[in-house]
Structure 1
Amino acid sequence: MSYWPLLGIAIVVVGFALRFNPLMVVVGAALATGVLAGFDLVAVIKALGKAFNDNRYITVTWIILPVIGLLERNGLQQRARAVIEGMRGATMGRLLVAYLALRQLTSALGMKDIGGHPQAVRPLVAPMAEAAAIKNHGDLSEEDRDKIKAMAAATDNVGLFFGEDIFFAIASILLIQGVFESAGYPMTPLQLSIWAIPTAICAFVIHGGRILAFDRRLGRARP
């Protein structure tokens, strides 16, 4: 067995570490893996093109990006901040914990595209979290604002990652099932989904605690 095709993994790691263009890194790694596996370069490019053509419906989701841009241009973030400023008892910690719960529940039901960084975090969740923090802790430094945005993005990631595995008709569950079967442990997608529930609960408790602790640190940092 040749291990040269695994060089594609190293290309991805090095490319991301050096902050090269992610698309170019992934395509370069795919081409290198195919050539090192003994395939003709033209055949590898043909396979990539066929895969893109077969899954071109995925690019339909890009249509929503101009719509979000127009909404932001017309004050979507400002309205999101105003909503939070008018709510009594709203804090950054409570808001992000609530979004984490919503993200996990909807992902567990297969609705993983309801949230996301471009369509939910940037225009809504991050501005609302920032407004809640300012409301409770006063004006924030640029560093603290960036940390709040990062926490909002991380909350979306955690909610999606640990919530979607509860939905048994998703690609990640089928991939895990295939790995277990190849190792001699046959399991049904439903069994894997059930065993993903304790992990999702732990992820909610741990990340929810991190959010609340971060909110408390912001408060202690100011008189």
Structure 2
Amino acid sequence: MLGGTHLGRFSKLAIITLAFATLPLLAIAPAQAGSNMAKVDIVSEGIDLAPIYVSSNANGYTGSEPAKHKFMVRVFAKASGQNRVWKVAIHGLKGVTFFQKDVGKSEGWDVYGKSHEFWAKPGEVKWMTTPKEACDANLKKMVAAGKTKAQVLANDRKTQALAFVYFTAFADSKAHNKKGKHESGGGIEPHNDNTAYTVPVVCRMAL
């Protein structure tokens, strides 16, 4: 389960509109007072211009095609005091992990900061606006502007969707890290952040 940092950030993201191009970078998330983690952060780092495709028929859009999409992010975790980061992970939906690494039996990282690329199917990602929802919204907008549904579906249409990518980091004492033991206390407490990620979408014409 994601912790308090995630919940606070999620509530902020809930007010984001479809004006994705104007999204600001999210600030580094400070850990709670007394925590063994000082900061945890994830930001998007570029957009894969290859779109996610949404299929359609004469009745409307039917869903995302299953091809994988590339995501590019930069993550940052800094332990507090004499603690060290011992594990980091990037993930999507519950149970879906795109990247994970730990320090093994070593003192750990004072700071972990790195750019990562990973590929994910649409069904593996948590969406604020799914590709199909983005196509449906675009269809509704164009019909309201005077086009018929058939006219809209007669051509491919471009739009954008909004995904969430999550980052989790763990910190513990150097002694615990060297032993590889994190069974209790703050060493197994997750510290979380997430970022809103813009994804280009092509709403396919109905065949």
Same fold? TM cut 0.5: no
What range is the shorter-chain TM-score in? under 0.3
Larger strand proportion of the pair: 2
Greater gyration radius = 1
- Taking structure 2 as the reference length, the TM-score comes to 0.24
Asked which structure has the greater RCO (Cα within 8 Å, sep 6+), the reply is 2
- Taking structure 1 as the reference length, the TM-score comes to 0.23
Larger helix proportion of the pair: 1
